[in-house]
């Protein structure tokens, strides 16, 4: 289909990583996170941590970087969720 699917992987990684930024900004601005599931945030962050460790084992810098950034954003979202809990 393509001689090198790498660009598709980089595009996918960029989109799923950057995606969390508008959510963090929205939660920070509205100071409201009631509709966010803490179970989702916990499971998702744990999964992204495993992806990062997977990258460490494979010594793959793109996997480590993409998941490292996502992990930071997901953890910040979890902290905001707990902080703005009503």
Give residues in contact with its own copies (CB under 8 A): 1-2, 5, 8-9, 11-20, 22-23, 25-27, 30, 32-37, 39-40, 43-44, 46-48, 50-51, 53-54, 56-58
In the complex, minimum distance from the CB of residue 37 to its own copies, in angstroms, rounded to a whole number: 4
In the complex, minimum distance from the CB of residue 32 to its own copies, in angstroms, rounded to a whole number: 5
- C-beta neighbour count of 61 within 10 angstroms: 10
CA angle in degrees (0–180, nearest 5) for 48-51-52 = 90
Helices (H), the chain: 6-18, 20-30, 38-58, 61-83
Q: Phi/psi of residue 19, each to 5°? A: -50, -35
In the complex, minimum distance from the CB of residue 11 to its own copies, in angstroms, rounded to a whole number: 5
């Amino acid at each position: 289909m393509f001689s090198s699917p790498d660009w598709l992987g980089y595009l996918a990684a960029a989109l799923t990583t950057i995606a969390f930024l508008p959510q963090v900004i929205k939660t920070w601005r509205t100071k409201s996170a009631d509709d966010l599931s803490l179970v989702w945030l916990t499971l998702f962050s744990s999964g992204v941590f495993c992806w990062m460790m997977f990258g460490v084992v494979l010594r793959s810098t793109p996997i480590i970087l993409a998941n490292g950034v996502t992990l930071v954003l997901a953890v910040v979202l979890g902290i905001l969720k707990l902080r703005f809990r009503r």
